[in-house]
Amino acid sequence: MGGVKEEAMVVESKEWYLSAYAPQGVPTSDHLKLRTVTLPLTLDSVPDQHVALQLLWISVDPYLRTRMSGLDDGLCSPQFSINQVIEAFGIGRVIRSKDRVAGFAAWVGIVVLGNPKPGSNVFVSAAAGGVGMYAGQLAKFKGCRVVGSTGSDEKVKLLKEEFGYDDAFNYHKEADLDAALNKYFPSGIDIYLENVGGSMLEAVLNHVNKGARIPLCGMISQYNKIWTEREGVRNLLNIIGKEVRMEGFLIGSYLDRFEDFAKEMEGYIKEGKIHFKHNIYHGIESFPESLASLFSSSNAGKVCIQVAP
Amino acid sequence: MGGVKEEAMVVESKEWYLSAYAPQGVPTSDHLKLRTVTLPLTLDSVPDQHVALQLLWISVDPYLRTRMSGLDDGLCSPQFSINQVIEAFGIGRVIRSKDRVAGFAAWVGIVVLGNPKPGSNVFVSAAAGGVGMYAGQLAKFKGCRVVGSTGSDEKVKLLKEEFGYDDAFNYHKEADLDAALNKYFPSGIDIYLENVGGSMLEAVLNHVNKGARIPLCGMISQYNKIWTEREGVRNLLNIIGKEVRMEGFLIGSYLDRFEDFAKEMEGYIKEGKIHFKHNIYHGIESFPESLASLFSSSNAGKVCIQVAP
């Protein structure tokens, strides 16, 4: 990702690149380096069917981290090469690429795979994150009861007061997840939108109802670990007894449904129904910090970087 | 389960009952006891919409063991009560109840949930068991390539020579499951019919293709352990990256498809296409031994008890 500064037919662009893989932990300045490159911008230098654009906004999402491990861990796109510029979704001045990541992922998870019915009991983890904040609202529009888990009391408040969650809890304070789910889901869970993985998934599998759906959107608790050190989920047998459908998804496979999503969301937006929060970082230099924020409890809402005004 | 000996209007019936729960290990004579009861058989003694039947055959299946743990582990039907007679599927003299267990489970897993296509790469664990022996044949009829895992060289031979598997391996001899799956599935796995669980599932998740289907039929490697001591599966993240659909099923929920199954199987049977093997025990006294055989590598085929000629 880079920020371009115009200068005749040659421009200077700052870009973050991967200097070393980070198999474990949050990537730091040991792994991510900023460099300035010059780009020719004559017409001949732009390949066919490509455009040059000035980046204004960058979307910072958890999957980016999984591309920096140097390990083929099975999630998402291939690993970044060493010295390769970090690619991300964004908004530019020349071509507007819609920010599809967060709202669309929530829609695929809840509406397409979750099959929500009025009265369904829906649980969303990482509920105040970029996906979770939309997921709860979408489930509410379908008549469900929605509870979210998140990492701070401020975010519990945000979920209940801004994002329409019926209830929410701070998993740091209610660390006995089994007890928490007993309390918040006395009638069990019908849909669980998985953004966390590990012990949260294990706890949920002890509270699922017959025929529950578990769309797997992400497992942010596991990204900073190599796979053999990830938390094992021991109660998958419950998936049989409760006839659960657990399904992983990447939004790239649902682009044929993007029109349906856009139409539905447009309706909600026009009615003033959708609430959201962006956690905005300023300047391309803030990329490592913004990435690390995804793995801290302080982050709420969609993380993005504003590169140019 | 019991075997009835007729004697005027009162009959003597031998029945196995649960005297103590077995949270771990294979249930033994410490947990299962045989008793003889007398049953009145006057017309008045038979409740409305019930029949009395003389049991001829008993189907011995892994799920029975999960009902003897005394723990609510989420699989299948409720726990047997202490002193309760063990219930099982069977064939009786008065009313023939079709033996739905094994062939139907294989059909639901492979045909309904597996969505097999010509050329799909199908892996079946516990392939020489009551479900596996039908699963491989069904997948072959759909044009798939099928490989099975099993616990002895004799059964590897059986799979390849009798049950139509393209290939098979003995997981005791090829204990590096990752290497084995690399070898037998150079193009990856499209459908995995899960009968084993634990490390086998973990290995499979490192070899699934995009959009793979994993119908969960059983997890026999895990039944003799309490859930917190079961093997954790650490690479569920791959379910997202590969957009896998993992779905548990109980045949009781698919009874509306039983007609379709019966029709399809009837066709295969008439054409002489279906091969099977029954591992027959004799006499109601053999129940604990037949149950234990399910958890040993020596068993091949569907286990049943012949109670009466």
Q: Is the confidence at residue A35, as pLDDT, over 90?
A: no
What is the model's pLDDT at position A42? Answer: 62
Cβ(B160)–Cβ(B148) below 8 Å = no
Q: Enter the tokens of residue B206.
A: 């490192």
Domain ranges of chain A: 2-99+278-306, 101-270
Mean pLDDT to the nearest integer, A190-218: 96
B241: nearest CA partner in chain A: A75
What is the model's pLDDT at position A93? Answer: 62
CA distance B87 to chain A (A): 18
The counts of H helices and E strands in chain B are 9, 13
Residues belonging to chain B = 309
Which of B17-21, B133-137, B210-214 is predicted least confidently?
B17-21
Interface membership of A216 toward B (CB under 8 Å): yes
- Kindly list the residues from chain B whose CB atom is less than 8 angstroms away from the CB atom of residue A206: 74
Among candidates B231, B235, B248 on the partner chain, residue whose Cβ is nearest the Cβ of A239: B248
What is the model's pLDDT at position A126? Answer: 94
Q: How does residue B261 score in pLDDT terms, banded at 50, 70 and 90? A: very high
Interface membership of A225 toward B (CB under 8 Å): no
Mean pLDDT to the nearest integer, B279-307: 79
How big is the CA angle at B186 (ends B105 and A78), to the nearest 5 degrees?
Answer: 100
3-state secondary structure of A306: strand
DSSP one-letter string for B266-280? HHHHHTT-----EEE
Per CATH, the number for A2-99+278-306 is 3.90.180.10
Among candidates A74, A206, A236 on the partner chain, residue whose Cβ is nearest the Cβ of B233: A236
- With 0-12 CB in 10 A as exposed, 13-18 as middle and 19+ as buried, what is A83? exposed
AA letter at A154: E
Q: Which residues contact B249 (CB under 8 A, 6 or more apart)?
A: A240, A243, B105, B108, B109, B113, B215, B216, B217
Q: Enter the tokens of residue B132.
A: 């596996």
Mutate to test the interface with A, among B237, B238, B244, B247 (most CBs of A within 10 A): B237
Distances (CA, A) of B30 to B18, B37, B68: 9, 20, 12
A202: nearest CA partner in chain B: B232
What is the model's pLDDT at position A43? Answer: 56
Among candidates B206, B243, B246 on the partner chain, residue whose Cβ is nearest the Cβ of A239: B246
B194: nearest CA partner in chain A: A240
Q: Which phi and psi (to 5°) does residue B171 adopt?
A: -70, -15
Mean pLDDT, all residues of chain B: 85
CA distance B153 to chain A (A): 28
- B15/B1 Cα distance (integer angstroms): 5
What is the model's pLDDT at position A50? Answer: 52
Q: Is the confidence at residue A12, as pLDDT, over 80?
A: no
Name which of A294, A232, A286, A236 is nearest A66 in CA terms.
A294
Q: Enter the tokens of residue A128.
A: 């105040």
The CATH number, out of the four listed (3.40.50.620, 2.60.40.290, 3.40.50.300, 3.40.50.720), of the domain defined by the range B101-270? 3.40.50.720
Mean pLDDT to the nearest integer, A173-201: 96
- B262/B255 Cα distance (integer angstroms): 11
Instruction: Look up residue A78 and give its DSSP letter.
Output: P
Mean pLDDT to the nearest integer, A275-290: 81
3-state secondary structure of B4: strand
Q: Enter the tokens of residue A115.
A: 């099959």
Torsion of CA B182, B184, B186, B191, to 10 degrees: -100
Name which of A180, A233, A189 is nearest A207 in CA terms.
A189
What is the model's pLDDT at position A284? Answer: 79
Mean pLDDT to the nearest integer, A91-107: 64
Which of A97-101, A293-297, B91-95, B106-110 is predicted least confidently?
A97-101
Q: Which phi and psi (to 5°) does residue A33 adopt?
A: -130, 150
- Kindly list the residues from chain A whose CB atom is less than 8 angstroms away from the CB atom of residue B242: 74, 248
What is the model's pLDDT at position B293? Answer: 80
- With 0-12 CB in 10 A as exposed, 13-18 as middle and 19+ as buried, what is A299? buried
- B161/B104 Cα distance (integer angstroms): 22
CA B167 to chain centre: 21
**In the block, residue with structure tokens 């209830």:** A167
What is the model's pLDDT at position A58? Answer: 79
Interface membership of A131 toward B (CB under 8 Å): no
B241 vs A232: CB contact, 8 Å cut-off? no
- B297/B129 Cα distance (integer angstroms): 10
Beta bridge partner(s), residue A37: A13
Q: How does residue A74 score in pLDDT terms, banded at 50, 70 and 90? A: low
Cβ(A149)–Cβ(A176) below 8 Å = no
Q: Enter the tokens of residue B158.
A: 């059986």
Q: Enter the tokens of residue B230.
A: 């079961």
Q: Over the stretch A209-224, which tens digit does the pLDDT of each residue have? A: 999 999 999 988 887 7
What is the model's pLDDT at position A4? Answer: 41
Higher pLDDT, A26 or B42: A26
3-state secondary structure of B134: helix
ipTM of the prediction: 0.72
Among candidates B201, B235, B246 on the partner chain, residue whose Cβ is nearest the Cβ of A74: B235
AA letter at A120: S
Q: Is the confidence at residue B217, as pLDDT, over 80?
A: yes
AA letter at A210: K
What is the model's pLDDT at position A127? Answer: 95
- A265/A125 Cα distance (integer angstroms): 22
- A279/A290 Cα distance (integer angstroms): 9
- Kindly list the residues from chain B whose CB atom is less than 8 angstroms away from the CB atom of residue A237: 73-75, 197, 219, 222, 227, 230
Handedness of CA B214, A241, B109, B134 (dihedral sign): positive
B74 vs A206: CB contact, 8 Å cut-off? yes
Higher pLDDT, B300 or B208: B208
B240 vs A75: CB contact, 8 Å cut-off? yes
